[in-house]
Structure formats: structure tokens, C-alpha cells
Structure 1
Amino acid sequence: MSSSAPQRQTRQRTTIAEVLGELDEFKSAQDIHDILRHRGHSVGLATVYRNLQSLVEAERVDVVRTPDGQATYRACGEATHSHHHHLVCRSCGRAVEIEFEGVEDRITALAAENGFTGVDHSIEVHGLCAACSA
């Protein structure tokens, strides 16, 4: 998924990455746009979407879809440089990066057994975090 061309680091991209780095939960582009505007940044929503996509392509930002299909974003964990999955609170959006031991091999095997190649996947497990279920 990495983009082959190096990406220019713009002021907007830096600001968006900084906001994402402060969040523990996934946020929509609109939420991120609202945070930026509240902090006094004049940036358009289209610019936020474009920069989020660039950050996703650079593997600096994770994107997951909510149950209603909306894309939400969060900075990748500092130690995370490999494929990973998430536990996501469906109430507050808090997310935890998780790894399933053996799942990558199993998916590869299932794909091969069914004649699929070039398989990609993402796993997001949705539930309620401890704070929201209390």
C-alpha cells in the first residue's frame, strides 16, 4: 500500500498528523476538520481528506470503517510498522492495536485453497471499552 514516490511534507499535512498523534480514538475527516477549525486553522475539508489519504498511503495513519461505512482515521502506533488490527469502541471510538497470532498464515492458506492471489485484509473488532460499558 506504500506509495512509491516520496511525499512532500506540507504545513497542513504536518498539522493534521499532529492532531492525529494526540488522539487515542479513530475520528472522521469531518471530526478532524472541526478540531483544526476550532484551533484556528483555516483548512478546507477537501484538504483534510486529501492529506489523510496521503498519510494512509505513507502508512502513518490507520483507516477503519465504522459499522455504517464511514472512514475514520488514527495515527499508527509508534512501534507499529507491520500489518495489524484493531479493537474499536463503538461508543467513544477508542482503539487498541492488536495482533492475532497465526491469522496472517491462515488467511494466506484460505486464499490459496480457494484459488485467490494478491489477497489483502483488515480486521476490526468492535465492542464497548471498559469506560463506556461501566
Structure 2
Amino acid sequence: MASPQKQTRSTAQKALIRDALESETRFVSAKQLHRRLEDDGASVGLATVYRQLNALSRSGDADTITIAETQLFRACSQSEHHHHLVCERCGTAVEIDPPSEEWMRTVADSNGFEITHHVFEIFGLCADCRAGAAG
């Protein structure tokens, strides 16, 4: 059984990681969040950051996507299923409405599929990143 001191530290680290993620407006990797925590003077291991971010994702308190084989996280305040437009360069995300359920059923039916679930994210470059690339 974990000692009370270790449990208190674990709870404090969990809250620290959750707060740091909630203050982000974009999707971030565990390494980016870990670096930010270290820069802010926090003593938390990278493995702990990974564990806590994945726990937040499993509980529905964080969204997760994968870009270029890197798992990214963003705090999620919506309890219902939702979708994003995501900048591949900076991780900025905007919540969007997906195509209609009717459209998805029609496409699936016309190809002989039955929908069991869907994942819908659109990736590209935000206006700021496009402007920076042009300059």
C-alpha cells in the first residue's frame, strides 16, 4: 500500500498536470506539457505526465489525437461526442460540427457498411501558421 506521503504527492501531481492541461488552448504532447511544468519549477516525471494524461483521456476529461505518430492531448469540458479542426503545426484546435448522421449512414449503406462508431478530425494549418510559413 502506498504511504500517505506518496499518495499526497501523487494527488498533487495529478492536480498540477490537470491544471496545466486545462490552461492550454491547443493540443499538446506529454513532452511539451512536461517541459512547461519543469519551466514553471514543478518536479514531476515524464512518465507521470504520460500516465495522468492517458488517465484523463480514458475518463473523458481530455481529448486525444495523433499527429505524425505523436499523441496529443487537450482538456475537454464537453461530455458529449465532438470533433475538431486541428493545426498540424501548432496544435490549435477548434470544435466543429461533423457531417450529418444521415450523410454518414448513407455513405456507409451505399458501401455495404454498418456504422459502429466514427472518428472525425480535420487537420491543416491555422491562419497564424500559414502566415508564418509565407513570411
RMSD, aligned CA? 2.2
1:123 aligns to 2:120 (yes or no): yes
Q: Which residue of 2 aligns with 1:39?
A: 40
Q: State how far apart, in whole Å, the 1-side matches of 2:105 and 2:54 are.
A: 27
2:129 to 124, 129, 132: 132
Offset at residue 115 of structure 1 (A): 5.5
1:27 aligns to 2:24 (yes or no): no
- Kindly report structure 1 stretches of 4+ aligned residues shifted beyond 3 Å: 104-109, 113-117
Offset at residue 53 of structure 1 (A): 1.0
Structure 1 or 2, whichever has the larger Rg, is 2
Offset at residue 105 of structure 1 (A): 4.7
Offset at residue 114 of structure 1 (A): 3.8
Q: State how far apart, in whole Å, the 1-side matches of 2:39 and 2:89 are.
A: 23
**Percent of aligned pairs with the same amino acid:** 39
Which one scores higher on RCO, CA 8 angstroms, separation ≥ 6? 1
Change (3 A) 1:82 1:105: farther
1:10 counterpart SS class: helix
Offset at residue 33 of structure 1 (A): 0.8
2:79 to 81, 106, 109: 81
Q: State how far apart, in whole Å, the 1-side matches of 2:99 and 2:65 are.
A: 21
Higher alpha-carbon deviation: 119-128 or 55-64: 119-128
- Structure 1 unaligned segments of length 5 or more: list them: 1-8
**Larger helix fraction of residues:** 2
Q: Which residue of 2 aligns with 1:4?
A: none
- Structure 2 unaligned segments of length 5 or more: list them: 1-9
